[in-house]
Amino acid sequence: MRTLISALALLFLFSVYDDMRARIVFDPAFDKEAFVGDWVPVCSGALAGAMAVLALVRDSRWVPRVALVACAGTFAATVAYRLLPVNMVTSESSGGELIGLLVLLAVAVRRCTPRWVPVIVAALGISVFSVPVLRDSDPGEFFESTLLELALAFVCGLVLRLYDVQQERTGQLVRQEERLALARDLHDTVAHQVTAIVVQLQAVRHVTGRGTHDPRMLNEMLEAVEHAGGEALTSMRRLVGSMRGDETPRHPENLGEVLTRIVDEARATGLPIRLDLGQELPGDVPTEVTGGLSRVLQEALTNAQRYARGARSVDVSARVAARHAELVVEDDGQGSPSGHRGSLGRLGGGFGIMGMRERIELLGGTFEAGRRPEGGWRVHASVPLHPDEASRNARAHGRHAVRSGLRLREGRTA
């Protein structure tokens, strides 16, 4: 942009120089001396060029002001040109004046508010037409070319305005996606560990409330709380590091190892979990698939800890086929329809199911969550292993993922 402004400023300077050179008498035998009125277009051309550069340099609030100043300069120059003595051999217009007014027209169409655009376009259009109509003895010769130049300047400004609108919309979508990604990461980072801390603290309060003073048992519970708090801090540091761009790359983990570790951590809180990985899961599952399914499992187990009251078992099964990886989490717990069960309900509902759905659909997969007919809750996620297929499905479901969580007006929320 700076290069373009500099080039335009040089163009206006050259135009002013050319206008001045054309009015200097080099051969008195053939040329007549320039009179005072002949220098008026040079001044209005320099003013129009300066205002055009100023409109590009300053913000949009300056565009109406500088455009009106340039129009006033052109009208004043036209009046002076008609009143002052002129040499009819010299030009009645200035190249810099026409270029400056056309540039101002394009800039006004692009940057002015809708309220100002009609006013500025009308003023600039009248100013451009006033030069051949009021200064030239034969204005019809330049009428069509002037009209074409105005139309081209208007179209250029309109195209640039539409481009700016499209860029702004694209930026808003990018910022919205970044906010959603950050919200998902924060939820995934905090909810699981904080839920484990709350569950363990409730168990400590329950044990101490019964009058049981077993130092060994209390020490184990407090160690679990300390471990969960440390995990939360580590996850938060990792998240902040990734946002700062200085996260150390980690070696990709096997899907089975990740799921097993998450299940073991949940079992430490007392949740009865049965893990079924079938045959050994392959080690070449894409990292994004592993990350998506692990987040779904983590969130599903967090929901089970919060809301699956009286659950006797939580069944976790994972399978990797030729084209898809699937994860199913089921529990037989009972709870209120609102999803706020027990004292943990004071933590309030959140965006767990919405975040799981968004994460899976952005990978091109499908996600389902709901009550089981026999009681309890079921979460099912399926993600394609092929990146090309995933990206096609993600483009088809990307916008739907932002609003999909609103469909779950009943059921569990984390």
Q: In the predicted model, what is the mean pLDDT of the chain?
A: 77
**Whose CA is closest to 289, among 364, 193, 214?**
364
Q: How confident is the model at residue 101 (pLDDT cuts 50, 70, 90)?
A: very high
342 confidence band (pLDDT: 50, 70, 90): very low
The pLDDT of residue 394 is 47
Query: What's residue 221's pLDDT?
Result: 72
- pLDDT > 70 fraction of the chain, expressed in percent and rounded: 74
Which pLDDT band holds residue 400 (cuts at 50, 70, 90)?
very low
- The Cα 320–Cα 302 span in angstroms is 23
318: pLDDT strictly greater than 70: yes
Confidence of residue 399 (pLDDT cuts 50, 70, 90): very low
Model confidence pLDDT, tens digit, residues 379-391: 999 999 875 554 5
Q: Can you list the alpha helix ranges (DSSP code H) found in 250-286?
A: 255-267
The answer to whether 330 and 377 are in contact (CB under 8 A) is yes
Beta-carbon contacts of residue 411 (< 8 Å; ≥ 6 apart): 337, 339, 353, 369, 370, 371, 377
Residue 318's identity, in one-letter code, is A
Q: Which pLDDT score, from 0 to 100, does residue 105 have?
A: 94
195-231, pLDDT tens digit by residue?
Answer: 667 777 777 777 777 665 677 777 777 777 777 777 7
Residue 299 has pLDDT above 90, yes or no: no
Residue type, 256: G
pLDDT given for residue 282 in this prediction = 78
Q: Determine contact, residues 105/157, Cβ cutoff 8 Å.
A: yes
Integer Cα distance of 378 and 311 in angstroms: 13
Distance CA 185, CA 406 (A): 19
For 5-62, what is each residue's pLDDT tens digit?
Answer: 888 888 888 888 887 777 775 555 545 566 777 788 888 889 999 999 999 998 888 9
- The whole-number pLDDT of residue 104 equals 94
Mean pLDDT score, 241-257: 65
pLDDT tens, residue by residue, 186-204: 666 666 667 667 777 777 7
Report residue 403's pLDDT band, with 50, 70 and 90 as the boundaries. very low
The predicted model scores a pTM of 0.53
Q: What is the pLDDT of residues 147-181, one digit of tens each?
A: 898 999 999 999 999 999 998 898 888 778 777 77
**For residue range 57-68, what is the model confidence (pLDDT) as tens digits?**
988 889 999 999
pLDDT beyond 80 at 128: yes
Average pLDDT over residues 327-335: 84
In a 13 Å sphere around the CA of 210, the CA atoms on its Cβ side amount to 9
The dihedral through the CA atoms of 203, 209, 213, 215 has a sign that is positive
**Cα 334-336-341 angle, rounded to 5 deg:** 85
Confidence band, pLDDT 50/70/90 cuts, at residue 405: very low
- The length of the chain, given as a count of residues: 414
At residue 275's C-alpha, the angle toward residues 269 and 279, to 5°, is 155
Q: What value does the CA radius of gyration of the chain take, rounded to a whole number of Å?
A: 36
